[in-house]
């Protein structure tokens, strides 16, 4: 009983910080990342400790959402044309992720969105990447760019929680 209460699991992932670009009074663009694959067990002591680590690569997500929401369809989109969405590392050429796209949501690495099957983006703590977008939303043009910093994120919780999933 004591071991189950003191045992823990640690999950480590890598990500670029998310950024929210305000577009108009009703819409905003969220650019975020998520791990490119499932975590692997790095170390494991049965019933006491488990450490899982996601790969040091990510996929991007591009989401034009209604202000004040976090998920779901956006009722404020009458028309959208994403001319371009790209990222670039310092001193390297840009990598275009989206070009001539007509939806408000896109995920890299998902066949229903990413027909080009783009390679995962390396993500190492301390690195940064510049993202750029160019889109027309409801007849209005928007362009923007920002630098997103990579970060290592770890969470620790009781091993019992991990067993219940």
Given phi > 0 = left and psi -120 to 50 = alpha, else beta, which region is 109? Answer: left
Enter the tokens of residue 125.
């703590």
How high is the pLDDT of residue 117?
78
Which residue has better confidence, 114 or 144? 144
What is the Cα–Cα distance from 18 to 164, expressed in whole angstroms? 29
The residue ranges of every structural domain in the chain are 2-164
pLDDT at position 161:
56
> Do 26 and 67 touch, CB atoms closer than 8 A?
yes
pLDDT tens string 73-129: 999 999 999 999 999 999 999 999 999 999 999 999 988 887 777 899 999 989 999
Asked if 55 contacts 36 with a C-beta cutoff of 8 angstroms, the reply is: yes
pTM of the shown model: 0.84
């Amino acid at each position: 009983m004591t071991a189950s209460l003191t045992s823990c699991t640690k999950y480590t992932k890598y990500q670029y910080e998310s950024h929210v670009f305000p577009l108009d009074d009703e819409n905003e663009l969220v650019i975020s990342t998520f791990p490119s694959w499932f975590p692997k067990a790095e170390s494991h002591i049965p019933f006491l400790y488990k450490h899982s680590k996601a790969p040091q690569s990510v996929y991007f997500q591009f989401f034009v959402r209604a202000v004040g929401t976090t998920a779901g369809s956006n009722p404020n989109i009458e028309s959208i044309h994403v001319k371009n969405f790209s990222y670039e590392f310092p001193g390297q050429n840009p990598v275009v992720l989206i070009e001539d796209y007509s939806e408000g949501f896109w995920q890299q690495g998902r066949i229903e969105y990413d027909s080009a099957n783009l390679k995962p983006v390396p993500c190492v703590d301390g690195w940064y990447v510049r993202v750029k977008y160019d889109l027309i939303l409801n007849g209005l043009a928007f362009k923007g760019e920002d630098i997103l910093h990579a970060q290592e994120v770890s969470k620790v919780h009781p091993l019992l929680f991990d067993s219940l999933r």
